[in-house]
Structure 1
Amino acid sequence: MRLRTVLATVTAGLAAATTLTAAGPATAASSTSGHACSPSVSLAGFSDALDKTAYEGTFVGNFSALAVDGNGQLVAVSDRSALFTLGAKTLKTLAPTGVVPLADENGAALDSEGLVVDRDGTRLISSETEPSVRRYSRDGKILDRLPVPDALKVAPAGRATANQTFEGLTLLPGGRTLLAAMENSISGDGTGVVRFQTWDRHKGTFQLAAQYGYRIDTGLGVSEVTATPDGRLLVLERGFTAGVGNTVRLYLADPRPATDTGDEATLTGQDGVRLVGKTLLADLVNCPSLGATAKQPQPNPLLDNIEGLTITGSAQGRLNVLLVSDDNQNPAQTTRFYSLRVRLPQRLP
C-alpha cells in the first residue's frame, strides 16, 4: 500500500534491552534469548541490509507481503508489480536470488499486496486496485483469476474504496481454503468493520465461500493476515500519523465461530452478527529498539510501515515470524525485516 496518513493512537514506552543491529550490508545480528515486546511476543532481531538496494536493475523494496516456498526459500512481493526470491528465510541470509515482473491480463502493472505460495508452487497474488486475486506460475504467467463479490469491488463497480481492499492473503491449514482481508470498511458498513472473504478449492479451482466481519482498531487498517498451524489467524493492523509515526499491532484472531456475512448487505458490528474474535498479542511500540534508527519521527525508532508477515517455523505453540516494512521507495522510510518469537494462547478470551 502506498504511504497514506491515517489517524492512529500510539502508546509510548520502550522495553529496556541489549543493543542488536544489522551487521554489514548483507547480514544481521540475532538474539538467542529474544527481547520481550509483550508476554506473548519477543523480538529476536532486525535487518536493514536490503534497504535502498537493487537487484538486476530492479529496486529492492516496496515489500507488501512475504511467503515461504516449498523449497524453504523466502518470497516477497513488491507493490510495484515484482516478485522477489530472497534466499533462505533468516535475517543473516537475506539476499535477492531472483525477480519476476508481474502484470495483469492487459500487461499493466499491479498494486500487488497479498501473497500465497500454493502447494504446487504457483503464486496467488492479490491486487487492491480492482481488487483481484490471480494465480501465477513461478515465472509470472497468469494461470487463473478468482471471482470477487460485487460489494467488495472498488466503486463504482462495488462499495469499496480504492487502495483499501485486499491487503492480506493467506491459505488456511490443509490448503483447501484461501482467505483475503480487506484493509478497511466498504461503504454502508460500520466504521471499523472490515470483511474477510474466503474461497474453497473445488476440482482444482477456487470458488467463492464464506465471508466474515472483523473489527479493526480506531485509525488502523489490516495490513496482513497469516494462518497459524491450528487454523487461527495472525492479523497485522497498521496506521500512520504525520509527525508521530506508525502504529503496528499484532492480533490473534479466530474466524471459525464467526457468522458467515456473505448475505449481509451491511455490517455494523451491533446487528447480532458474530464478528471474528481477536486478542492483542503485542503492540510493537513496546518492543525494544535494539539500536534501530528511524529516518522520520516514530514513537519507537524500530517501527516503520510494516506490511508483510509470514510464519517461518513452529513448534509446541510457539511460532517464528518474519515481518517486513514497505519503504514506498521513500528516502524517509526503511525496508526493514523483523524476526519475532510468538507464543500463542490456547484460546481467545
Structure 2
Amino acid sequence: MKWLLALLLAGSAHAQTLNYIGQQIVPTSASFRGVPVGGLSSIDYVPATGRYLAICDDRSDRAPARYYELSLDLSKFRRSANPGEAGVAWVNMTSILDLDGQPFGRNQVDPESLRLDARRNLIYWANEGQRVSSSLQNPTVRRMSPDGKPAGEFPVPGYYNPLGSAGGITPGDVGVYNNLAFESIAITPDGKTLWTMSENGLAQDSLPTAVGRGSRARMLSFDLDSGKAGAEYIYDVGPVPFPPARQGDFATNGVPDMLALSAHEFIVIERAFAVGAVTPGIAALTKQPTSNTIKLYLIDTRGATDVSGWASIKGREVVPVKRTMLLDLSSLKNDDGSVLALDNIEGITFGPTLDGKRTLILVSDNNFNPAQFTQFIALTIDGTLN
C-alpha cells in the first residue's frame, strides 16, 4: 500500500511515495551472546557490508554499554500483525568504552544514537546524560573507533548541562530535562557536519511537552573537520497528541532521531507516548494496548534563526526551522486491514536499494519490557531523496 508525501527537496516540490514493505518483531526474551537484546535507540545502515549498526541504551546495567551489528533480510518482512523475526540476524556486539578506555560503570552513561563515518572510520554517538536528584550528568557527543575505543569528544555548549533542581522547572534551572536530551545523531551527505538535537527544550527555554503544549528543542551542529560547535536552531516539538487514560499519568512527545537529506533538510521522528492512551494502533495488539504515536516530519533549517551562543531564547524573537509532517505511521495497515501497531520507535536510517528503490528502516527501543518488543519497519521510497 502506498502513501503520498510532499517532500520539499532541493528547493522544489517533488511527489514521493512510500510503500510499506512490512515489519519484523523480535521478542524481549531474545538474547545474543548471553546478553538480553533490546534498548535499540538508533540504527545506521552500512552500505559496504549490507549490515546495520544499532546502539543499545542500557546504562551498563544488564551488560556494559554496547552497540550491535546485525543484518536484515527485507524479503522476509511481512505486512502482518504477527510477522515473526525471520531475517533478523545478530552478527556482533561491541562494548563502548569511556574516555579512559574502560567499560562504563553502571548508570554512568546513557547511549542513545550513533552514526558511522566510513570516510574517517569513526562512529559518532550521543550520551543523553541525566537529571535526577542523585546525579546530574552532562549530555555528550563523542567519537569512537569501530572497536569501541574512545576517539574524542565534541565541545557541547555549557548551557545544555543540567544545573539546579532534578525536575528542571524551578526558577533558575538550566540545561536539559531528564530523559529529554540528545537522542539523535545525523551526518550531512557531504560528510562535513554532524547534527544532534535535544528531545525537548532546555529548562531555561521552555517547559517539556504535555497534552496541548509543545516544547522548543534545540538542534546543535559540529564541524567534523575542526570538531567545533557551529550553527544552532530551534525545532518546535508538537504537543502530546493523545491524553493518558488517567489525568496526571505520564505523557510525553519528543525527537528520538533524525536523518540528514542535505546540508539543511532532515527527516525527524516525533515519538509520543501516554500511559493507557487510546491510539489508532490500539486494536492491533493482543497483549496490551499500544500508547505510542509515531510521526515523520521534514524540516528545513533555511531561514531559521541561528541561536548559537544564546544561553536562553526566552523573551527573544526566534524563527524556528520549517516543519512539515510527512507521515503518521498510524495510517499504515497490514494486509488483513489491521492498523500497524507501533512500539517505541527511536531509530531511522536509509537502507539498501530494493527493486531499484531506496528503503527507509525504522527500529524500536523495547525498554527491556516484556510487554514491548523490538520492531523493525521497512518502507520503500518511490523517487529520489537527496
Q: Distance in 2 between matches of 1:158 and 1:103?
A: 28
**Alpha carbons of 1:37 and 1:328: their partners in 2 closer, same or farther (altered >3 Å)?**
farther
Gaps of 5+ in 1: 1-33, 294-299
TM-superposition CA deviations, 1:18-75 (whole Å, max 9, x none): xxxxxxxxxxxxxxxx444867543211001465311111222110001122523211
TM-superposition CA deviations, 1:128-182 (whole Å, max 9, x none): 0121111111111111111111111223495211221111111011111000011
Give yes or no for contact 1:89–1:312 (8 Å, CA) kept in 2. no
The SS at the match of 1:174 is coil
**Alpha carbons of 1:37 and 1:113: their partners in 2 closer, same or farther (altered >3 Å)?**
farther
**Alpha carbons of 1:251 and 1:90: their partners in 2 closer, same or farther (altered >3 Å)?**
same
Q: Does 1:249 align with 2:295?
A: yes
Q: Distance in 1 between matches of 2:292 and 2:29?
A: 20
Q: Distance in 2 between matches of 1:287 and 1:277?
A: 25
Matching residue of 2:360: 321
Matching residue of 1:23: none
Q: Distance in 2 between matches of 1:177 and 1:155?
A: 28
Q: How does 1:61-76 map to 2 (within 5 A)?
A: 61-71=38-48, 72-76=50-54
Q: Distance in 2 between matches of 1:301 and 1:218?
A: 22
**Alpha carbons of 1:79 and 1:67: their partners in 2 closer, same or farther (altered >3 Å)?**
same
Matching residue of 1:84: 68
Matching residue of 1:260: 306
> Which one has the largest radius of gyration?
2
Structure 1 residue 272: deviation in Å?
A: 3.1
Q: Distance in 2 between matches of 1:265 and 1:215?
A: 18
Q: Does 1:233 align with 2:229?
A: no
Q: How does 1:166-185 map to 2 (within 5 A)?
A: 166-185=182-201
The SS at the match of 1:96 is strand
Counterpart among 22, 30, 43 of residue 45 in structure 1: 22
CA RMSD of aligned residues (A): 2.8
Matching residue of 1:131: 139
Q: What TM-score, normalized by structure 1, do the two folds share? A: 0.79
Give yes or no for contact 1:133–1:145 (8 Å, CA) kept in 2. yes
**Alpha carbons of 1:103 and 1:337: their partners in 2 closer, same or farther (altered >3 Å)?**
same
Matching residue of 1:31: none
Structure 1 residue 267: deviation in Å?
A: 2.7
Q: Percent identity?
A: 29
Q: How does 1:294-309 map to 2 (within 5 A)?
A: 300=339, 302-309=341-348
Q: Does 1:287 align with 2:332?
A: yes
Give yes or no for contact 2:200–2:216 (8 Å, CA) kept in 1. yes
Matching residue of 2:247: none
Q: Does 1:199 align with 2:222?
A: yes
Q: Distance in 2 between matches of 1:133 and 1:171?
A: 13
Q: In the alignment, residue 74 of structure 1 is paired with which amino acid? A: Y
Structure 1 residue 261: deviation in Å?
A: 0.6
Q: Distance in 1 between matches of 2:336 and 2:56?
A: 27
Give yes or no for contact 1:42–1:340 (8 Å, CA) kept in 2. yes
Structure 1 residue 326: deviation in Å?
A: 0.5
